[in-house]
Amino acid sequence: GENVEQHPSTLSVQEGDSAVIKCTYSDSASNYFPWYKQELGKRPQLIIDIRSNVGEKKDQRIAVTLNKTAKHFSLHITETQPEDSAVYFCAATGGKLTFGQGTILTVHP
Amino acid sequence: DAGITQSPRHKVTETGTPVTLRCHQTENHRYMYWYRQDPGHGLRLIHYSYGVKDTDKGEVSDGYSVSRSKTEDFLLTLESATSSQTSVYFCAISEWDRGNGYTFGSGTRLTVV
């Protein structure tokens, strides 16, 4: 089955800096790669996703890049704000989602 | 809210007792999933359902069973709870089984003492 590795496990940045979270996956058949944000005590919520026929996708301050050859994808957050502080999960699938271990992002004012 | 509710939201139970968690949806989605969330492990799939009475195992199914007798309800049962099953349990629903369109419930925090 699919295996997803996510790094780093924790990330601390100053407000206004950029943050990058990286994931690798094992199953070359995976074709859908979503990113979820989970605030403390809340449910995971989709923030951006990308399909395997696209190399990059951007939505305001967040972007995701995908390298199918290397089987890795990344989340980029620019101009970080304190409200970006949360746990971020990557996932990969050709069917049922397999999640990475999560990254705790802390943005210091 | 999101058309998916989990009950109870919190539960404390003793080792060896049976526990049932409920996931209820009003979206009429075909696919339903149970995940558990533990620090350092992300979300791991326990069981899933692709229709009434159609279920299958995920990666961490040992010690858990599920049932789906109606489209709207997906039950997760711990037959004899153990401390290793202390976790936060999330239900998710999806109209398709292509990974997209997942909506998560609010979660159930289960503590086994």
What is the mean predicted confidence (pLDDT) over B10-29?
96
What is the mean predicted confidence (pLDDT) over B101-107?
91
Residue A102 in contact with partner chain B when CB distance is under 8 A: yes
Q: For residue A93, give the DSSP letter.
A: B
CB contact under 8 A, B99 and A32: yes
Nearest Cα of chain B lies from the Cα of A58 at a distance, in angstroms, of 18
Distance CA A26, CA A43 (A): 26
> Which residues lie below 8 Å from residue B70, measured CB to CB, with a gap of 6+?
B52
Residue B70 in contact with partner chain A when CB distance is under 8 A: no
Nearest Cα of chain A lies from the Cα of B104 at a distance, in angstroms, of 6
Average pLDDT score, chain B: 94
Report the Cα B91 to chain-centroid distance in Å.
4
Which is more confidently placed, B14 or B1? B14
For tokens 């271990």, the residue is A101
Residue B64 tokens read as: 């858990």
- pLDDT at residue A50 greater than cutoff 90: yes
Beta strand ranges found along B58-100 (DSSP E): 64-70, 73-78, 87-94
User: How many residue contacts between A and B have a Cβ separation below 8 Å?
Assistant: 55
Distance CA B55, CA B53 (A): 6
CB B37 within 8 A of CB B88: yes
Looking at residue A69, what is its pLDDT? 93
CB contact under 8 A, A1 and B59: yes
Confidence band for B1, pLDDT divided at 50, 70 and 90: low
Distance CA A5, CA B78 (A): 28
Confidence band for B22, pLDDT divided at 50, 70 and 90: very high
Over the stretch B73-86, which tens digit does the pLDDT of each residue have?
999 999 999 999 99
Distance CA A33, CA A49 (A): 6
User: Which residues of chain A have a CB within 8 Å of the CB of B50?
Assistant: none
Confidence band for B2, pLDDT divided at 50, 70 and 90: low
Over the stretch A54-82, which tens digit does the pLDDT of each residue have?
899 999 999 999 999 999 999 999 999 99
Cα R_g (chain A), whole angstroms: 13
Handedness of CA A55, A80, B107, B38 (dihedral sign): positive
Torsion of CA A39, B40, B79, A98, to 10 degrees: 80
CB contact under 8 A, A34 and B99: yes
Looking at residue B99, what is its pLDDT? 65
